[in-house]
Structure 1
Amino acid sequence: MRALSFIMLAVAGVSLSGCLSTVADVVTAPVKVGSKAVDLATTSQSEADEKRGRDLRKREEELGKLERRYGKELRKCQDGSRKACGDAQETYRAMQELIPTIPVAPDSDD
């Protein structure tokens, strides 16, 4: 009789192990979903730094394009093109608006 109860106990343990893992998954699911939602809703410091870096590089690239365009327009203006002079003034104005948004690296007086 004792052997039969041990066998029944072993069979019950094996058959219930799947149920216990399912119950554990159901219990922890709301916590996992909630933490995932919080993770998606918030921005980490490193993500924010990366975004600032991308924005800064984009502004620096735009300033470089404007400087090259300004140089070309200025040369054409010096060759006598009135249209190029007006374009150069507009490009210079755009550069002056963009420059304050780009931080300046500190001088190293080593």
Structure 2
Amino acid sequence: MKRALILLLLLPLGACVSTVAHVVTAPVRVASWSVDKMTTSQSEADEKRGRRERKLDEQRAKEERKEAKRERKQAREQARQNDPY
């Protein structure tokens, strides 16, 4: 009977130990999370640089297309002006 009573009393302690473990390790987890958010890894920096370069390439290509379109339009207008018919 005594053993059964002791076992029944120890069952809720398992949950308490788990909760205590979470509370004790919380500051460490918070600190590591904040350090992770404040620092940039090399792979993250490479990804950012790649995105920035792709964006610049897209902008350059867009400007080139715009310039080519403007040149074609000028050439058409020039051809109309020079066309005697």
TM range (shorter): 0.7 to 0.9
Aligned partner of 2:27 in structure 1 is 30
When normalised by structure 2's length, the TM-score is 0.74
What is the number of equivalent residue pairs in this alignment? 77
Aligned partner of 2:65 in structure 1 is 68
Structure ranking higher on relative contact order (CA contacts 8 Å, 6+ apart) = 1
Q: Quote the sequence identity (%).
A: 48
| CA distance in 2: counterparts of 1:15 and 1:66, whole angstroms | 69
What do residues 38-85 of structure 1 show as CA deviations (whole Å, max 9, x unaligned)? 1111112111111111111111111111112222333416828xxxxx
| CA distance in 2: counterparts of 1:28 and 1:56, whole angstroms | 41
CA RMSD of aligned residues (A): 2.1
Question: After TM superposition, what 4+ stretches of structure 1 lie above 3 angstroms from structure 2?
Answer: none
Secondary structure in structure 2 of the residue aligned to 1:43: coil
**Structure 1 residues without counterparts, runs of 5 or longer:** 81-110
Secondary structure in structure 2 of the residue aligned to 1:79: helix
When normalised by structure 1's length, the TM-score is 0.60
